[in-house]
């Protein structure tokens, strides 16, 4: 509905630029913004500090490819939220390398997979205790982003069934990493669902990087508005599923 997404605490990774920054701003502009908003950046002194409206989010340094960095972020979040736990983890960190099947390399593959797939895995594992605490908080029923959830920012380019935009961009490393991330979403949903934690993949549309003509890029504002509206509506029936910024269910 129009009341927006009401969630006590949110940790958003990949806030240095692009969609992460857009979602951060969108969360702060909700009718009831999060009491605790953590913007995990690779450079806490960088853009994420400079652009934000008040209240400023807390910015733990978080390199999602580094387990020690993630552990430090968990400690920072725990200091602030205490036994209330963390309601919403948004795994938004992502990278890509332009490639075709002919030019794809092992180096590209492992670099992109490390950030796009292993990063969200390690972050989800590390924040599980805090998500569980939020799920167990008093008066919580049903599954929702307000209670406890992991949202993996994915891409329709990771949909095996749709296989979108092959002519425009092959980007094998990116497609494979996002298909694997979608499988991770399903695994998380199967394992954490019984603890009351909702796990969903979301395609925010082609906001960044801007793509060639004819691919119908979405403006940042449209994407952010759509994603936040979707998050406000997700429930138990959406656990382990894949959606886009328009609120449409996507095939794996």
Q: What is the pLDDT of residue 165?
A: 85
The C-alpha atoms of residue 57 and residue 71 are separated, in whole angstroms, by: 19
Residue entry with tokens 């390690």 = 122
Tokens matching residue 232: 């406000």
Report if residue 4 sits inside a domain: no
What does the H/E/C string look like for 127-138? HHHHHHHHHCCC
Q: Please report whether residue 2 resides in a domain.
A: no
The pLDDT value given to residue 169: 87
What CATH number does residue 109 fall under?
Answer: 3.40.50.720
Tokens read off for 222: 């449209």
pLDDT at 15: 84
As for how many domains the chain has, the answer is: 1
Inter-residue contact 23 to 90 (CB < 8 Å)? yes
Determine the structural domain holding residue 199 and report its residue range: 9-45+52-249
Report yes or no on 131 lying in a domain.
yes
pLDDT at 52 over 90: no
Average pLDDT on 225-231 reads: 96
pTM of the model: 0.92
Instruction: Indicate whether 84 belongs to any domain.
Output: yes
Q: Is residue 3 part of a domain?
A: no
Q: Token pair of 64, please?
A: 């999602």
Residue 50: both structure tokens together = 């400079």
Identify the pLDDT of residue 54.
43
Strand partners for 198: 149
Give 65-90 pLDDT, tens digit per residue.
Answer: 899 999 999 999 999 999 999 999 99
């Amino acid at each position: 509905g129009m009341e927006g997404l009401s969630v006590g605490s949110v940790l958003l990774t990949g806030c240095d630029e692009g969609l992460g920054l857009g979602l951060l701003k969108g969360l702060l502009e909700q009718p009831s913004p999060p009491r605790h908003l953590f913007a995990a950046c690779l450079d806490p002194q960088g853009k994420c500090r400079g652009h934000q409206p008040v209240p400023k989010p807390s910015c733990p340094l978080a390199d999602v490819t580094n387990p020690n960095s993630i552990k430090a972020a968990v400690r920072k979040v725990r200091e602030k939220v205490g036994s209330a736990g963390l309601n919403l983890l948004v795994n938004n960190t992502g990278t890509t390398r332009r490639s075709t099947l002919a030019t794809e390399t092992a180096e590209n593959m492992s670099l992109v997979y490390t950030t796009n797939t292993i990063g969200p895995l390690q972050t989800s594992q590390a924040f599980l205790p805090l998500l569980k605490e939020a799920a167990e908080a008093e008066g919580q029923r049903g599954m929702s982003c307000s209670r406890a959830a992991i949202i993996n920012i994915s891409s329709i380019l990771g949909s095996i069934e749709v296989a979108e935009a092959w002519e425009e961009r092959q980007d094998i490393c990116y497609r494979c990493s996002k298909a694997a991330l979608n499988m991770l979403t399903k695994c998380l949903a199967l394992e954490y669902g019984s603890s009351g934690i909702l796990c969903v993949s979301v395609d925010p549309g082609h906001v960044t990087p801007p793509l060639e003509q004819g691919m119908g890029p979405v403006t940042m504002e449209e994407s952010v508005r759509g994603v936040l509206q979707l998050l406000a509506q997700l429930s138990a029936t959406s656990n382990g599923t894949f959606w886009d910024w328009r609120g449409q269910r996507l095939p794996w």
